[in-house]
Structure 1
Amino acid sequence: MKLFRPSILIIAISALSLFGFIAWANWAELDQIARAQGEVIPVGRIQLLQSSEGGVITEILVREGDEVEEGELLMRLDDVKPAAGVEETRAATAALTATVARLRAEAFDQPLVFPPEVEAYPEFAANQRQLYAKRRQALREQVSTLRSQLSLAEEELALNEPLVDSGDVAAVDVIRMQRQVADLRGQIVNAENEYFREVQTELSSAQEELVAAQQQLAQRVDVLEDTEIYAPVAGIVKNIRLTTIGGVLQPGDEIMQIVPTEDELIVEAKVSPVDVAFVNLGQEASIRFDAYDSSIYGRGRGEVVFISPDTLSEKGPSGQEVVYYRVHLKLDTSSMRTRYRGETIELQPGMTATADILTGENTVFAYLTKPITKTVEDSLGER
């Protein structure tokens, strides 16, 4: 009886091991991930405060790191010139408002009543009342004169018409008198019509000027209001650009940033265009925060809640253009652990992180054979 030689035994064991490994590799699965660098941000994003009109800084009420409430005053700019512009335009608007009120009263034959904003300028109201009375009096006097002439003409006509039949008055004279009566009646109508026509023309012009003045006033009020900078949200003051009283802000200059404290924090990750086709809403992610050693604190969990519809680009560390998709991950840090009792995991906007987004699963065998399969596919496609 012959014994198995050691080489045969080794081959058999190796073959069995190989087949066993292949079987295991086809059964065992590994997670497929899309890895992306990211940053912790508030859902409402960091609020960038800018100066729309610019100006000279007269007061700075906060410092970097201060916690502020929504609507809290942060900075004041010099308001002398904007305030003067507002007062000048407000006065011009009040004058035009008084003019429009007077012309409307004339046009619709109504008593003259001024809106409340005119009452602050009694001289404007007095001038328009005087002009209202003067113009109406002039019309009344003109019409009264014509009516007196008409009355005399009608009386003369009434006396002479019966004398035509007796031949004491020529018919042509009566016709002349009738024409004079008709002419005077027409002059009265024309005088009133001309008056109201002129009033309507003046009213239309004054209303256009008033609308323009009101728009200018609104713009200047906005400029004046912009001399006081308020916090749009509750948060932490960051990156105050100018800290010098008397410093000059140019229009559009950044003043400071407010990092919201009441907003939920998320991770904004930059996913490569190569991986984005496999990233979908609702997918889970494992998140490693650079501020917390994952070997000590573990990892946080995340869920994909937003994928940008198009790519964005920015300059990389070496100056090259980096193209990526913006992906937002909802955070859950309950899986992270602390080193000692009482320690808490506190995330802050600006912390950097690495997100491993679970995009699927694949067998170990597929991972091992992927380079070979890809090479063969590429080779078969060549000419």
Structure 2
Amino acid sequence: RAIVYSGALVLLAFVAWMAGAKVDRVVHTNGRVVPSGKQQLVQHLEGGIVSQVFVREGDTVTKGQSLIAVSALQANSSLGEKRARLEGLSARAARLQAEADGGRFVAPAGVAAASPEMRNQSDAFEARMARLGQSLRVIEEQQAQKRQEAAEQEARRKGLSAELDVARQQLTLVQNLLAKNAASQLEMLDARARVERLGTQIREAETAIPRLQAAALELQARAAETRAQFRSESRTSLADARVEMQRLQQEIGADSDRVRRTDIVAPVSGVVNKLMFNTMGGVVKPGDTLMELTPTDAALVVETRVAPSERGAQQ
């Protein structure tokens, strides 16, 4: 009888537990673990050809670690070409500065004295200075000639003035002799003609002297103008060269950034979740996504799909 009572009590307890207890149901389904935040997309601005892949899907990477290398041939070529042009412009600017200042032509900072650019600009400097010197020599020779002619006219004037004094004395003497019937009228006319002729020649010399002196001064001014024009042209060209140098420096900075961006690094520490380019030679278009990174500091959740009939007891 005790056994029967015990069994009955156990049965009643089980029935009571079944009436009030909640039984969980196990549902089997497929899913994936994803970060609770957004994936970090790794993209490339300019695009190019994949030259090397350093990671695989599932690899853990740290911020700044190299992920993919993109060919930099075009960027490097453009950068090298612009640096060469900048070096040539620097040498040209130094040459123009020397011309504008009338100083010596020396290699600027960053340009080797024996470089082809310096040799070319040195040749140009010497040629331009030679042309300027030749032009100035022609003007100076003309100026010297005018001064010489003016000096000759001054000497001639002095000589004629001395002759005129003698001629006037002779004319006075002939006039006195004519008054005493000791000289003929013809002698008096010859003496008077000589005085008038010498006076005319003196006036011509006196007129020529200031004209020749003015011509010499004009040539002196022309020489100064030639120098000033030469320097002005050099300064104008120098200003243009500096503007071009500034533009090239900006482009070189942009190209340098492009070269640096050919080594694509991890923007954050994380796990390579998906790799879009995993072979060398792949063509990356500008703005293409290269891979997806799951940041290591992001909380992980499970994404899955469950049939509606199996979701009743889920919370």
TM-score bracket relative to the smaller structure: 0.5 to 0.7
The offset of 1:228, in angstroms, is 1.4
Match of 2:210 in 1: 175
CA–CA distance in structure 2, aligned partners of residues 117 and 99 of structure 1: 13
Match of 1:345 in 2: none
Alpha carbons of structure 1 residues 79 and 121: separation in structure 2 relative to 1, 3 Å:
farther
Match of 1:61 in 2: 54
Tell me the alpha carbon deviations over residues 214-248 of structure 1, each in whole angstroms, 9 at most, x when there is no partner: 33333333322222112234333333222232211
Q: Within 5 Å, which residues of 2 pair with 1:235-254?
A: 235-254=270-289
> Which one has a bigger Cα radius of gyration?
2
Q: Within 5 Å, which residues of 2 pair with 1:71-82?
A: 71-82=64-75
Count of matched residue positions in the alignment of Structure 1 and Structure 2: 227
Q: Is the 8 A contact 1:94 1:121 kept in 2?
A: no
Alpha carbons of structure 1 residues 53 and 184: separation in structure 2 relative to 1, 3 Å:
same
Match of 1:255 in 2: 290
Does structure 1 residue 156 correspond to structure 2 residue 149?
yes
SS in 2 for 1:351: strand
More strand by share: 1
More helix by share: 2
Structure 1 gap segments, 5+ residues each: 1-38, 266-347, 354-383
Alpha carbons of structure 1 residues 120 and 138: separation in structure 2 relative to 1, 3 Å:
closer
Does structure 1 residue 111 correspond to structure 2 residue 104?
yes
Tell me the alpha carbon deviations over residues 78-104 of structure 1, each in whole angstroms, 9 at most, x when there is no partner: 222322222222222222222112112
Match of 2:122 in 1: 129
Q: Is the 8 A contact 1:57 1:247 kept in 2?
A: yes
User: Which amino acid in structure 1 is aligned with residue 57 of structure 2?
Assistant: E
Q: Is the 8 A contact 1:119 1:125 kept in 2?
A: yes
Q: Which has the higher contact order (CA 8 A, sep 6+)?
A: 2
Q: Is the 8 A contact 1:259 1:349 kept in 2?
A: no
CA–CA distance in structure 2, aligned partners of residues 159 and 120 of structure 1: 52
The offset of 1:56, in angstroms, is 1.2
Match of 1:269 in 2: none
Does structure 1 residue 351 correspond to structure 2 residue 301?
yes
Match of 1:97 in 2: 90
The offset of 1:121, in angstroms, is 8.0
Q: Is the 8 A contact 2:150 2:208 kept in 1?
A: no
CA–CA distance in structure 2, aligned partners of residues 147 and 259 of structure 1: 82
Tell me the alpha carbon deviations over residues 18-68 of structure 1, each in whole angstroms, 9 at most, x when there is no partner: xxxxxxxxxxxxxxxxxxxxx744xxx764321111111121001223222
Aligned identity (percent) is 30
CA–CA distance in structure 1, aligned partners of residues 210 and 113 of structure 2: 60
- TM-score, length of structure 2 as denominator length: 0.63
Alpha carbons of structure 1 residues 120 and 68: separation in structure 2 relative to 1, 3 Å:
farther
Match of 2:29 in 1: none
CA–CA distance in structure 1, aligned partners of residues 265 and 234 of structure 2: 47
The offset of 1:119, in angstroms, is 2.5
The offset of 1:190, in angstroms, is 1.2
Structure 2 gap segments, 5+ residues each: 1-34, 162-198, 304-315
Match of 1:290 in 2: none
Q: Within 5 Å, which residues of 2 pair with 1:220-235?
A: 220-235=255-270
